[in-house]
Structure 1
Amino acid sequence: MQCKQIGGLKHLSDLGLFVQRLLARSRLTEEEQHAIMALPTYEMEVRARQDFVPLGEETDYCCYIASGLVARVGQVKNGSRQTTALHIPGDMADLHSAVRPIGIGGLTALTDTLILRIPHAAVRTLGRDFPAIAEAFWRDCILDAAILMQWAVNLGRKDARSRLAHILCELAIRYGGGRGYPLLEFDLPMVQEQLGDAAALTSVHVNRSLKTLRQERLVTVRGGIVQIHDWQRLMQAGEFDPTYLVADTFPDRQKRLVFQ
C-alpha cells in the first residue's frame, strides 16, 4: 500500500461525491460544503483482495472510497468471512471510527481501490467548528446502520434468489445516486466467491441463483456488469423496499436541526 498526502484546497473535488451523499439528507451551506472538501486527505492505493483496515485494529483516520469497491467483513475461527456491507465511491466506509477508533469489522478491497485517509483529529475539529456538519455526519452513520439492519434480515430470512436480488437492487439505487432512481446497468467487478461472501452462499448457490434470475429475464450478471431487465419484478424477487435508503432524501425530509 502506498500513501501520500494530497489534502488542502488544491483537491476540493476529491470529496465531492461524499458531499453529494450528505446533501441528499442534510442541508449544508456553501461554507460548510467547502469546509468538508478542504479536509486533509492522504491517498492510499490498495490492490484487489487486500485488507487495509484489519479486523479489530485501532485507527486514527477515516477511509473515503474514491474509486473501486470495498467490503466490510467479519471472520470466524476457521477463517471463513462474511461480508456485512459493500462500499462504493462516495462512501466514507468508517466515518464512525472518528468517535470509536477500534474497528467494527475489517475493510478489504474487492478491486484495485483508491482510498483517501482523513485524520480523525481533522474530522472531530470540523464537527466542533461546524455543528451542522457533525449532525450530517451522524445522519450518514445512521444510513449505514439502516443498511446493516436490512442485510441482517436479508441473510437471515430469505432464500438464495431473494438475497442476491436484494443486494443487486440496493446497489442499483446507491450507484444511481441514492435518491430512489436505480441505475439499470452498472459495473460490479465481484467474482461469485465474493458475491457468496455477501449473500452467505456457496459459489455453486450463487451461480444457480443468478442463472434463475437471468432465465426469469430479471437481471443478467456477466463479465463484471449488471444489466437489470425488469426493475419492478427484481424488487419483488428480493422483497426490496428502498425506503431505508431514500426515506430522508425527499426535499421535505432533508434535515438541519442545528442553525447558526
Structure 2
Amino acid sequence: MFAYGVWGMVTLTTAEYELSASRHLKRREFAGGAYRGYQAGETIFEVGNRRARIFYLISGWIISWKLLPNGTRMVSDFSLPGDIVWTASAELSRETMQALSNIRIYELPALGDRKPESASNDLHRALLLEMVRRQARLTERMANIGRRDALARTAHLLLELAVRLGVFQHESADGFECPLTQAEIGDAVGLSTVHINRVLKDMRLSGLLIFKSGVVEFLDRKKLEELVDFDPSYLAPPAERRL
C-alpha cells in the first residue's frame, strides 16, 4: 500500500495521510485529478451509475456491498487508505460503494476522458495491479466463507485488515482503529450479528483479541495466526510481484 493507516494505536490525521500520499499523486499518471471529500454514510457509487470513476483513497474506509434479491446484504470488499478504486467492476457486479467513515479521495479523469498522450502506461499498470490485488482478496474471501468456521472467518478478516493497514510492520503496534460494526463484519463473513458477538467474546476470553469501542487489539497475534492458518502472502505489495 502507498500509505499506512496506523502507527501503534494512533490513527493518522487526514493531513498526515495527504502528506504521505503526495509523492504518489505528483506522478504523471495522477495528473489532472481533483480532491473530494465524503461524509460517513454517503454513497460514492451505486447500482445504475454508469459513469466509471477512478480515484485514490487518501484517508478513511470504503465498504463495497451487494444487495441480494431476498433483501440481505453481502459485503464484498473494503477499500483502505492507499488503494486505487476503479468503479467499472462495481458497475458490472452491481455493487454499491459507501463511505464507512469520513473519507478524502483524489479523483482522476476517467480513461475515456483523457487525451491519448495522457493515458499513460503507468496508470494502466496501476489499475491492473489494483485489480490483481482485489481478485486475490475476493478469492480468499470465498475460501473464508466456504471452508472456514466462524472464529477463523472473523479472525482472518481482522488479520487481513491489519496487514493491509501496515500494523505489523511496527514492532510496538498490535492493534488498529476499526470503524466496522458487528453487523458489517457479519455481512463480510456470512454470519449473523449474534454469531459475530459470540465469536468476539470467545476470542477475548481465550486471550486472542479484543474488539471494543472501535479498536481491534491483538492480545496474542502469533497464536491467532496459527489457530486460523493465516498466510498473508496473498496481500504482498504489487511491486514485489511480476505481471
- Give the TM-score taking structure 2 as reference length: 0.79
| Alpha-carbon contact 2:64-2:78 (below 8 Å) kept | yes
2:120 is matched with: 130
Matched, 1:218 2:208: yes
Judging changes above 3 Å, is the alpha-carbon distance between structure 1 residues 123 and 231 closer, same or farther for their aligned structure 2 residues? farther
| In 2, Cα distance between equivalents of 1:136 and 1:126 | 17
Aligned ranges 1:245-256 → 2 under 5 Å: 245-246=235-236, 253-255=240-242
Map 1:1-260; keep pairs closer than 5 Å: 14=18, 17=21, 34-45=27-38, 47-94=39-86, 97=88, 102-104=91-93, 105-121=95-111, 130-176=120-166, 184-246=174-236, 253-255=240-242
Letter in 2 for 1:38: A
For residues 126 and 254 of structure 1, do their structure 2 counterparts lie closer, same or farther at Cα, with a shift above 3 Å needed? farther
Deviation at 1:121, TM superposition (A): 3.2
Specify the SS of the correspondent of 1:232: helix
1:111-165 Cα offsets, whole Å, 9 max, x none, are: 2323333221388658865324422331221011101110111011111111110
> Given that residues 62 and 119 in structure 1 are in contact (C-alpha distance below 8 angstroms), is that contact kept between their aligned partners in structure 2?
yes
Deviation per residue, 1:5-50 (Å, 9 max, x gap): xxxxxx9x84954977xxxxxxxxxxx96213434124132x3233
For 1:144 and 1:132, locate their aligned partners in 2 and report how far apart those are by CA, in whole Å. Answer: 18
Q: Which amino acid aligns with 2:153?
A: R
Corresponding letter in the other structure for 1:102: E
Higher mean alpha-carbon deviation, 72-81 vs 124-133, is at 124-133
Change (3 A) 1:18 1:91: farther
Letter in 1 for 2:147: R
Q: Which amino acid aligns with 1:68?
A: G
**Distance change (3 Å), C-alpha of 1:217 and 1:101:** closer
Q: Secondary structure of the equivalent of 1:226? A: strand
Task: Quote the residue 2:12 is aligned against.
Answer: none
Q: Taking structure 1 as reference, are residues 70 and 132 closer, same or farther at Cα in structure 2, changes over 3 Å only? A: closer
SS of equivalent to 1:209: helix
Q: Structure 1, residues 154-206: CA drift from partner, whole Å, max 9, x if none? A: 01111111111000110111111797989521100111111111111111101
Q: What are the ranges of 5 or more consecutive residues in structure 1 without an aligned counterpart?
A: 1-10, 21-31
Counterparts in 2 of 1:138 and 1:181: CA distance versus 1, 3 Å:
farther
3-state SS in 2 of match to 1:212? helix
Q: Residues 122, 17 of structure 1: CA spacing in aligned structure 2 closer, same or farther, 3 A cutoff? A: farther
User: Are the counterparts in 2 of residues 44 and 117 from structure 1 also a CA contact under 8 Å?
Assistant: no
Distance 1:19 1:92, change over 3 A: farther
Counterpart in the other structure of 1:29: none
Kindly indicate whether the alpha-carbon contact (under 8 Å) linking 2:30 and 2:108 is maintained by their aligned counterparts in 1: no
Query: How far apart are 1:64 and its partner, in Å?
Result: 2.8
Q: How many residues align?
A: 227
Alignment partners' CA distance in 2, 1:133 and 1:118 = 10
Kept in 2, the 8 Å contact 1:67–1:113? The answer is: yes
Displacement of 1:86: 0.9
Gaps of 5+ in 2: 1-14
Contact 2:35 2:104 in 1 (8 A): no
C-alpha separation in 2, matches of 1:166 and 1:66: 25
Over the residues paired in the alignment, what is the CA RMSD in angstroms?
Answer: 3.3
